[in-house]
Amino acid sequence: MTDTIPDTATPEALAKTFEPAAIEAKWYRHWESAGAFRPARPDATPFTIVNPPPNVTGSLHIGHALDNTLQDVVIRYERLRGKDALWVVGTDHAGIATQMVVERQLEARQDKRSNYTREDFITKVWEWKAESGGTITGQLRRLGCSMDWSREQFTMDPHFTRAVVKVFVDLFNKGLIYRDKRLVNWDPRLKTAISDLEVETREMKGGFWRFRYPLADGVVRADGLDYIEVATTRPETMLADMLVAVHPDDARYQSVIGAEILQPLTGRRLRVVADDHADPALGSGAVKITPGHDFNDFDVGKRAGIKPADMLNMFDAEARVVQTADGLVPAEYVGLDRFDARTAVVAAMKEGGFLVPHVDKDGAEHDFEPRTIQTPYGDRGGVVIEPWLTDQWYVDAHTLAQAPMAAVRSGAIEIVPKTWEKTFFNWMENIQPWCVSRQLWWGHQIPAWYDAQGTAYVADSEATAQALAGTGVVLTRDPDVLDTWFSSALWPFATLGWPDDSELVKRHYPNDLLISGFDILFFWDARMAMQGIEFMGQVPWRRLYLHGLVRAADGQKMSKSKGNVVDPLGLIDQYGADALRFFMCAMESQGRDVKMDERRVEGYRNFATKLWNAARFCQANGIAASTTLAAPAATHAVNRWIIGEVVETLAALDAALADLRFDAAANVIYQFAWGTFCDWYIEFIKGNFDDETKAVAGWVLDQILVMLHPFMPFVTEELWHALGERHDDLIVAQWPAPAAHVDPAAKAEVEWLIALVSGFRTAKNELGLPPGARLEAWLPEPSEATRAIIAGNGPVIDRLARLSAIHLAPAPAGAAMQVGAGDATLIVPLEGLIDVAAERARLEKALAAAQKEAKALEGRLNNASFVERAKPEAVDKARADHAHHAAEATRLSAALARLG
């Protein structure tokens, strides 16, 4: 590949305005082609992050932008700090999602999956991936993500498949994967089983029907009634009812336990059983039991001695009514959709006089009582989930969950923010078997083969399975594939080459950090922890950082149906990737969702522009790239001061990033670059570009570029090269090492100057004087320190405070403006030019404020118990503050007295 960067040996003058689009593509191409994302650093400490693999069908949404920005900040930071930083990237084959995309394409051409063989369909999926699968990877590049594309992974890569098969086989051999017949969450639209996590409960308007089930054989209850009333929200399931349950202690039904019900529609005889599941306080206290179509009923059925294989099933894979094994479903129901069946069943029961009407509060009768029903929906298919009796593969998640819980308890895994630990434990402690088989074509096919009797042989190849089964036994492979999350759970090590004993695995496992949204804590993070510890013997990552959702400006969740989705690429087009990234970081405070605020993105675009212009100014004044990592030697106070400010900023930034406080980190560098460097330092040095100042300014600007680079990689890289010839790109430069300290004297001096300048600006503003007016001030009896500062900073005082002279002598009599700086009060005679009343009001307001503070502190200091019980530091601080405010009050009183 060719290097597209212009000759950096002769930097060109920066353009007047900063155009993000013009530089972003250029630098990304350069970095990638130069291998800058993963420089060879064999002797450096490794640092590893794996990227949550986006669905190969996906395109970049605002949540990806947040997630990947945070990761990129960390990886660029560690790379700048000299680590062997590896950010693994790739995509997920996303079984259901991808198969749906390709099927939709077929449907658009009046075609369908069943017109193809499995092999041909899978070929089509691969073709689709080759054409369209790269969308999101291109978009991650636009965001500036410095991932190791040279090793881009895909969860269906051959080596990944080997890892998946090995894990499945090993878990099976350890008894941690097994096949079982039980109720599963079935998606009738996708015609596959899904896991508990893929079911989302929605509140839907539904009904509550009550029916009379007549007792058979002339049996009557103790109270003389010849029926039992049952209630249900799903009347259609009565076609597969097998029992009626009552509570063992319920006096009303003691005499009929063991008797039989004659189900009115099917004529099936339903045994009345005693079971704790029936709650005497609810409804009639009796409940109809459909073991094949309800999770609770399944358990009741088993307790009543019904084997899963004998439980009646009344639905096909698309949830249409089929004949039950006992042949008792009347023909008119067979073939009906489940919701049509509901209507038909209710009508028939009503007609037969078995429906107990609901009487509303106005006395009107209805077939049912309206109720809000917690209804299970498939998160992908979007239709109501049907509990269905099937054979599926299950992972013994309970066993696998123990080690990850211990790892979090011991601190081997640190969850950030810590509040998520409780959620993690709560889920892990109550974890259920994980259904991992899916009735799809696209995915990792389960490595199990069956003989004619249905015995499973699980092996890494058909040959091995055949060997297990014995020669001559005819084997058929399990047609199902694995849950996508089964393979992505292996991401932290399979991407590094496992199960091969590769150098990468040794060097980069465990990973250092995982950053993910909390929404996939259970789906992905917890399962990585389970598989990682089980197969690698170590935690997958030392830290787990969970961030929130990006919400719309109104606080709502973004969704296509609401039409409030913000496209991150549109924001990048408009404001630049740097601005979007900085926004994400600045808004990412731990434990809180990020609310979209486009104006703020705009504000950070302005920040990039501000930096650009500061660099332009430096460039125009001969300030260029620094030549040393350490701070240059400096004698001028402003230079010594700004070096100290860099030292403090760096410390604060390092501390924030160590704690993964992205917001604090972003604010620290923002504040320094704009508030300290641009607003004050540049203003101070205007007019004195001597060699020392140029060296210091160039060095400070470089430190800003390096410190800001993780957040705003593009503009910083551009400026880095614009300011001079560089040995390296900024992306692989060195993190600041100032080898300098804060100079308290310089700090005090500059802070005095800042107070002076601010004081005059404020005073002029409040008195209505032109801000540009140049004045002369009198300062009688200045302290030695103040005298020295004034002597050493004439030009600055002239230019910024707009004072052409400070006379160290008593001021002439007459009306004057008085401005304080430190312990000094500068007097500017302005007889006839100022409104004396306004100046008095101004000073009185300040005096009142100082007196109020002083008084409050005095009150506290006069409180004996404060002085006795408060921490000594607090008392000392109160004394110091009091002295300061009292002195200020004295100074202002004197100023007022002088005003007359």
Closest separation between CB of residue 878 and RNA, Å?
A: 7
Q: Which of 74, 145, 238, 287 binds RNA (CB under 7 A)?
A: 287
Q: Which of 399, 667, 851, 893 binds RNA (CB under 7 A)?
A: 667
| In contact, 609 and 53? CB cutoff 8 Å | no
Q: Which of 4, 45, 123, 201 binds RNA (CB under 7 A)?
A: 201
Note the helical H segments in 588-636. Answer: 598-620
- 3-state SS, 515-549, equals EEEHHHHHHHHHHHHHHHHHHHCCCCEEEEEEECC
- Asked whether position 342 contacts RNA by CB under 7 A, the answer is no
Two structure tokens written together for 800: 């910024």
| In contact, 207 and 370? CB cutoff 8 Å | yes
477 or 600: CB nearest RNA: 600
Two structure tokens written together for 226: 């010849």
- Asked whether position 296 contacts RNA by CB under 7 A, the answer is yes
- Asked whether position 870 contacts RNA by CB under 7 A, the answer is yes
391 or 663: CB nearest RNA: 663
149 or 617: CB nearest RNA: 617
Instruction: Find the binding residues for RNA in span 682-721 (CB under 7 A).
Output: 682-683, 686-687, 689
Instruction: Find the binding residues for RNA in span 521-580 (CB under 7 A).
Output: 522, 551, 555, 557
Residues paired with 778 in a beta bridge: 807, 827
| In contact, 513 and 472? CB cutoff 8 Å | no
Stretch that binds RNA, among 16-24, 144-152, 212-220, 810-818 (CB under 7 A): 16-24
Q: Given phi > 0 = left and psi -120 to 50 = alpha, else beta, which region is 98?
A: alpha
| In contact, 765 and 771? CB cutoff 8 Å | yes
Q: Which of 220, 282, 467, 894 binds RNA (CB under 7 A)?
A: 282
- Asked whether position 771 contacts RNA by CB under 7 A, the answer is yes
Q: Which of 32, 170, 396, 593 binds RNA (CB under 7 A)?
A: 593
316 or 663: CB nearest RNA: 663
Note the helical H segments in 109-216. Answer: 118-132, 135-143, 158-173
Q: Which of 283, 308, 724, 792 binds RNA (CB under 7 A)?
A: 283
Two structure tokens written together for 598: 């486009």
Q: Which residue has the tokens 């060109």?
A: 12
Q: Which residue has the tokens 């460039």?
A: 619
Instruction: Find the binding residues for RNA in span 344-383 (CB under 7 A).
Output: 371, 373-374
Stretch that binds RNA, among 71-79, 563-571, 583-591, 826-834 (CB under 7 A): 583-591
Nearest CA among 293, 348, 299, 355 for reference residue 322: 293
Instruction: Find the binding residues for RNA in span 798-857 (CB under 7 A).
Output: 799, 802, 856
80 or 197: CB nearest RNA: 197
215 or 231: CB nearest RNA: 231
- Asked whether position 185 contacts RNA by CB under 7 A, the answer is no
Distance (Å, rounded) from C-alpha 288 to C-alpha 275?
A: 12
Q: Which of 116, 149, 377, 617 binds RNA (CB under 7 A)?
A: 617
Phi then psi for residue 141, to 5 deg, are: -65, -40
Closest separation between CB of residue 785 and RNA, Å?
A: 23
Closest separation between CB of residue 126 and RNA, Å?
A: 33
DSSP conformational letter for 13: P
Closest separation between CB of residue 748 and RNA, Å?
A: 19
- 3-state secondary structure at position 194: strand
- Asked whether position 189 contacts RNA by CB under 7 A, the answer is no
196 or 654: CB nearest RNA: 196
Instruction: Find the binding residues for RNA in span 482-511 (CB under 7 A).
Output: none
Two structure tokens written together for 414: 């640190």
DSSP H helix total and E strand total for the chain: 29, 32
- Asked whether position 15 contacts RNA by CB under 7 A, the answer is no
Closest separation between CB of residue 90 and RNA, Å?
A: 26
Distance (Å, rounded) from C-alpha 514 to C-alpha 550?
A: 19
- Asked whether position 233 contacts RNA by CB under 7 A, the answer is yes
474 or 880: CB nearest RNA: 880
Q: Which of 231, 514, 634, 666 binds RNA (CB under 7 A)?
A: 231
Residues near 114 by beta carbon (within 8 Å), at least 6 away in sequence: none
Closest separation between CB of residue 372 and RNA, Å?
A: 9
Nearest CA among 814, 815, 821 for reference residue 783: 821
Residues paired with 481 in a beta bridge: 438, 445
Instruction: Find the binding residues for RNA in span 734-763 (CB under 7 A).
Output: 758, 761-762
- Asked whether position 107 contacts RNA by CB under 7 A, the answer is no
Dihedral in degrees, nearest 10, Cα atoms 99, 101, 107, 113: -10
| In contact, 385 and 376? CB cutoff 8 Å | yes
Closest separation between CB of residue 781 and RNA, Å?
A: 27
Stretch that binds RNA, among 104-112, 449-457, 593-601, 649-657 (CB under 7 A): 593-601
Q: Which of 49, 278, 448, 665 binds RNA (CB under 7 A)?
A: 278
| In contact, 256 and 215? CB cutoff 8 Å | yes
Instruction: Find the binding residues for RNA in span 416-445 (CB under 7 A).
Output: 419, 422-423, 426-427, 430
Q: Given phi > 0 = left and psi -120 to 50 = alpha, else beta, which region is 508?
A: alpha
